[in-house]
Amino acid sequence: MALKKIGQFVVSRLLAGVLIVAPIYFAVLLLLKAMKSLAGLVKPLANLLPSWLPADQVLSLLLVLAIFFFIGLAVRTSSGRAIWGGMQTSLFQRIPGYQLFRSLTQRLAGQEGDTAWKPALAEIEEALVPAFIIEELEDGRFTVFVPSVPTPFAGSIYILASDRVHPLNIPFTQAIKAVSRWGSGSKDLVAAMEVKAGANR
């Protein structure tokens, strides 16, 4: 039994580390790949700069950042949002886990529009536990993710009746902070639930 618990501990922490490091790794990998692809394009201009300056890398980086900036600018427009929405529906949402990962990154960025990863308190046995709503089922039940402590991105999945799930009107980062601090700050989570419950009476 002790060996099993050790194994679960190692696996959960390993997965938590992967979830944190993987997006950073792939972002850096994408950046380096894009810089390499554009190196030939900036070569004529790089030859005009002093030889002591790593002009190929600097100009490639600046060009990649400029492209990312204008893409970000474009998706803020109505036509850009429509094109991006079409791409997500027809392509990206077919990738397993994309929608959930997108919702998570939106929450981390402070965008609260998506219902996935909404902070909540869930009734598990005789206790209230910090949780995140992943989705609502057609019959009204919720799929919730209950994180382990102090690793917020490893835990257990439950499907619970709606009366056992209490959504909280607090920022996602506040709920994550309470979990990562071994429950410190949970009184604010309970207060948010009690305010909501009082408003419904």
The interaxial angle of helices 172-180 and 186-200, nearest 10 deg, is 140
Q: Three-state secondary structure along the chain?
A: CHHHHHHHHHHHHHHHHHHHHHHHHHHHHHHHHHHHHHHHHHHHHHCCCCCCCCHHHHHHHHHHHHHHHHHHHHCCCHHHHHHHHHHHHHCHHHCCCHHHHHHHHHHHCCCCCCCCCEEEEEEECCEEEEEEEEEECCCCCEEEEEECCCCCCCEEEEEECHHHEEECCCCHHHHHHHHHCCCCCHHHHHHHHHHHHHHHC
Low-confidence ranges of the chain (pLDDT < 70): 1-2, 4-5, 7-20, 22-23, 84-116, 150-153, 194-201
pLDDT digit string, tens, across residues 83-108: 766 665 555 555 555 555 565 665 55
- 118-200 under CATH 3.30.70, yes or no: no
Domain positions in the chain are 2-94, 118-200
CA angle 187, 191, 197 (to 5 degrees): 145
Residue with tokens 């618990």: 5
pLDDT at 159: 92
pLDDT at 161: 92
- In this predicted structure, what is the pLDDT of residue 187? 83
What pLDDT does residue 201 have?
45
Using alpha carbons, list the distances in angstroms from residue 83 to 71, 96, 137: 12, 21, 29
pTM of the model: 0.49
- Burial label for 161, CB within 10 Å (0-12, 13-18, 19+), is exposed
